[in-house]
Amino acid sequence: DDNGSVLEMKDLSARFTIDIIASTAYGIKANCLNNPNAEFKINGRQIFEYSTYRGYEFLAMFFAPQLVELLNMQFFHKESTEFLKKIFWDTLIEREALGIKRPDLIDVLIELRRSQPVEEKNIF
**Which residues are CB-contacts of 65 (< 8 A; sequence separation ≥ 6)?**
none
Taking 50 as the pLDDT cut, the residues of the chain under it are none
Q: For residue 62, is it within any domain?
A: no
pTM, 2 dp: 0.67
Does 68 reside within a domain?
no
* Backbone conformation region of residue 4, classed left if phi is above 0, alpha if psi is from -120 to 50, else beta: left
User: Do the domain assignments include residue 67?
Assistant: no
User: 28 lies in which domain range?
Assistant: 9-49+78-115
Q: What percent of the chain has pLDDT over 70?
A: 90
- Residues 120 and 86: their CA atoms lie apart, in Å, by 18
HSE (CB half, 13 Å, CA atoms) of 51?
Answer: 7
In a domain, 20, yes or no: yes
Report the percentage of the chain scoring pLDDT > 90.
Answer: 12
